Each structure stands twice: as C-alpha cells, then as structure tokens.
Amino acid sequence: MSSTSLGKSILSTDLAQSRILLSRVSTTSSVMPVTIHFTQISMLALTADKLFTPDGTIERPLVLIDRGKVAEISSFSARALPPGSSLRSFDGAAIVPGYIDLHIHGAAGFDLMSGSTDAFSLIEQMLARHGVTSYLPTTITAPMDRTLTSLELLADLIEQPAEKREGRAQAVGIHIEGPFLSHRRRGVHPPENLLPPRIQTFERFWEASRGNIRMMTIAPELEGAEELIAEAARRGVCVSVGHSDADVEATERGIAHGARHATHTFNAMRPLEHRSPGILGTVLTDKRLSADIIADGVHVDPSIVRMFATLKGPDNTVLITDGLSATGMPDGHYHLGSLDVEVKDGRCIANGVLAGSVLTMDRAVRNLAAFAEWPISKAVATASRNPARVADLKGKGVLAPGSDADIVILNAAGEVLQTFIGGIEA
C-alpha cells in the first residue's frame, strides 16, 4: 500500500477496530456464524535527521501518525516501530510543522475572490507544494455585493467535507482586508469602495461568511473603529491594525479595545519618524502586538526585515505572502480582485503601486533566515507556530501528540521535499 492510500484509509475508516458478524439462519439447518476479523490498519511512521518542536530539536525522530493526528513523537532509537506500521524515511532532512498563511489573495493564475471549485483546488495544490497546509483566503476592498458573494463562496470552501479536501492546503477561516481602511494608506484598494467602520456593515460580512471570519485588518484611527474592534474581538476575530495613518495614541486605543496584531508591517502604514513615531513606533515596540511582514526583499528591504525580526522577536514575528493570482506563474498581467496587475521580475504593480506579491511561504522562511541571520528552525516557527497562535488555530502550528498531522519535510537548504496534510501525502 502506498503512503497516500494508507493515509486516506487512516482518515476515512474506523474498520481497524470493527468486527462484522455474519449470521445465516436456515429453516432446515443451522449454520455456524461466520466472524470476519479485519487486520489492524497500520500507522504511518516518519523519520528524518531532525524534527523541530516548540521545545527544541529532536535528533533522528520517530513520528507516528494515526487517523490524521500525531499519535506519538520519540527518538527512532528508543522506540520500536508498531507492528504493521508503514515507515517513510527522509535522510538529510528535517520534519517541521505545516506552514500557515494568514494573508493570501490567490495563486496558480486564480483569484480567491472569484474562484470556482476547480480554481480553489489548483490554488490549494500549489500552496501544498510550497509547504502551506492551512491558510486564510483574504478579500480585498470591493463593491458590497461582490464582497458578500465572495464571502459566501469562501464559506462554502471552508465547510467542504474533509474527504473532498484531501491532499490540499486547507482554508481554515477568512481574512477581510478592507473596506475599513485609511484613504491615505489604502495602497491599491479602490477608494470608491472603502467604508467607515460600522458594526452593521461587519454584521453583513459575518452573516455572509457564516461566522468564518478569523481575521480583520482595520485602520484604528477611523471614526467608529474602536467600537467595531471591540465587537469583532468579542466574536473571536483577530483584529489587525493596518492600512493606517494612525498616530501612537490612536494605535494604542485600538489595542485597548482588542486589536492584537499588525498587517504587512511598513507597507501601507504611516512612515516612522523620530519625533512622531506613529503606528509603526507602537507596532515595533509593543509586546501586546504580534506583527506580520512580507519578506520578499521587494516590499521591505532585507536590512529592515532584520530590524523587524530583532524588535518583534521569534515569538511575535509572523510571515505572510500577500500572494496574488500570479504566484507560481510567469510574468504577465493578472487580477487582484477587480484590479489589473502587471507582474515583472518579482514585482506586482497596479496603478504604479505595489499590489501583493508572488512570494511563496517556503521562500519567505528561507529569506527570513538569511535576512535576520536566524537558523532555519527559528524561521520555521514564524510560518507555523506563530500564525497558528494569532489565528487561534487549535492543533496546528506545532508537532506534538494530539496535534494535526500537518507536516512538511525540508531539505538542508529549507526547500520543501514533501507535505503531509492530516497525515495524507499532498
């Protein structure tokens, strides 16, 4: 049995612990009952040179996977393989938690706001090839009717039965980036579709998404923002400050009302000034905020990425891609929502302004390790453990007994060799 079919068996059936008793009764003669015993379905076992955990590194680990979950982690030399288990060995490689992208608009030539079922599948397959096992499809500011329709489609995607999503990155919630943004720091978001923060407007989004909104970017200085921040936080949404021209005081009021994260730090934010630090001064120094960054070397200079990682530290630094439909595609013209974006040499431009990226998460991890001079294990946490905590994704972002078996195998250079999602090979 291949590891793929094995994984599918583990997820889809509980026959391993079942017994079927077939009895046939005749009016003329008695027949002994026939009892069929099913063979115990084997676990999937993974080993490699090392494994990164929240507490450090395990050399030559053994990871046992059963029914989509991590059943046990131990040293390969200290634990015999369970009888009938299927072993996959990755010499010279590391086992790490699956990556999580909190901010992505599309990939593989398709935009997530207008994608069909087939488009979603292609996007998610491409994400999995680059180590992403979970993600938040992200909306861009658009007319109300289009936003509501997109939220409904994305809710359908998130609520698909598990068997229809096997071997693909999993959409686990929605990130609404807009329309509650600063006109001055809107980036490429269409100004005619920006709206003032109102709980009634958010309620329409919430109903269309069927409660699947996990993250919301908002400019905290806008009138009505504080009330909306408090209400969204009450519903369990991670409120992220961004696309903002806020000063320190407005940013701190947003935090006091429930904001706890910052969106693509430095980009679409009031610049840092030494006498008027503004929102960036707070984002970089306030330990109550985690913050994400686009580490492609285009949106932010590598030296600034290093400064950001030093100030936020390994626990509050989060990597995102802000990827658009052009990710994984050749140079050309693509869409971000209703916008036409020209992609050339890794730069995505709409109306003369940067409009998303073609960064993949595995490249972002390698870039951060290089820019910040961090070991790859430290950089991995910013794409797994940290975003899982930000979005409150239980059982994801770490590898420990009971966690989801979302696993990436990296070679020594940090490149993805294999991805497992719920224990199934992608």
What's the mean pLDDT in 144-160? Answer: 96
pLDDT of residue 40 exceeding 80: no
Catalytic residue among 322, 362, 404, 406: 322
In this model, does residue 396 exceed pLDDT 70? Answer: yes
How far is residue 148 from each of residues 118, 141, 204, 257, 380, measured CA to CA in Å? 20, 11, 8, 26, 34
pLDDT for position 61: 97
Nearest to 93 by CA among 64, 133, 63: 63
pLDDT at 326 over 60: yes
Query: Is 322 marked active-site?
Result: yes
Q: How far apart (Å, rounded) are the C-alpha atoms in residues 404 and 422? A: 6
Neighbours of 94 (CB within 10 A): 22
Residue 246 corresponds to which amino acid? A
User: 19 pairs with which residues across the strands?
Assistant: 37
Residue 270, classified by CB atoms within 10 Å of its CB into exposed (0-12), middle (13-18) or buried (19+), is: buried
Q: What is the pLDDT of residues 353-383, one digit of tens each?
A: 999 999 999 999 999 999 999 999 999 999 9
Residue percentage of the chain with pLDDT more than 70: 90
**Ordered alpha helix ranges (H), 243-360:** 248-256, 278-285, 302-316
For residue 253, pLDDT beyond 70:
yes
Q: Where are the domains of the chain?
A: 3-95, 99-396
Residues with Cβ within 8 Å of 51's Cβ and at least 6 positions away in sequence, in order, are 57, 58, 61, 63, 73, 94, 95, 96, 399
* Whole-number Å distance between alpha carbons of 236 and 390: 11
Beta strands 56-59; 99-104: pairing state: unpaired
Instruction: Give the per-residue pLDDT at 337.
Output: 83
CA–CA distances in Å: residue 193 to residues 137, 183, 209, 243, 349: 20, 10, 19, 14, 20
Query: Average pLDDT for residues 117-143, to the nearest whole number?
Result: 96
| Residue whose tokens read 């030494």 | 274
Longest dimension (CA), the chain: 100
Residue 150: what pLDDT? 96
Q: In the chain, what are the helix, strand and coil shares in percent, each to the nearest 5?
A: 30, 30, 40
pLDDT of residue 164: 83
Beta bridge pairs of residue 343: 332, 348
Q: How confident is the model at residue 56 (pLDDT cuts 50, 70, 90)?
A: confident
* Rounded Cα gap, residues 127 and 336, in angstroms: 17
DSSP 33-95: -EEEEPPPPPPEEEEEEEEEETTEEEESEEEEEETTEEEEEEEGGGSPPPTTPEEEEEEEEEE
From the options 2.30.40, 2.60.40, 2.60.120, 3.30.70, give the CATH code of 3-95.
2.30.40
Is there a common fold for 3-95 and 99-396? no
Amino acid in position 376: I
Q: What is the pLDDT of residue 167?
A: 87
* Superfamily for domain range 99-396: Metal-dependent hydrolases (3.20.20.140)
pLDDT score for 53: 79
Quick one: which of 254, 263, 258, 165 has its CA closest to 217?
263
pLDDT in tens, 202-247: 999 999 999 999 999 999 999 999 999 999 999 999 999 999 999 9
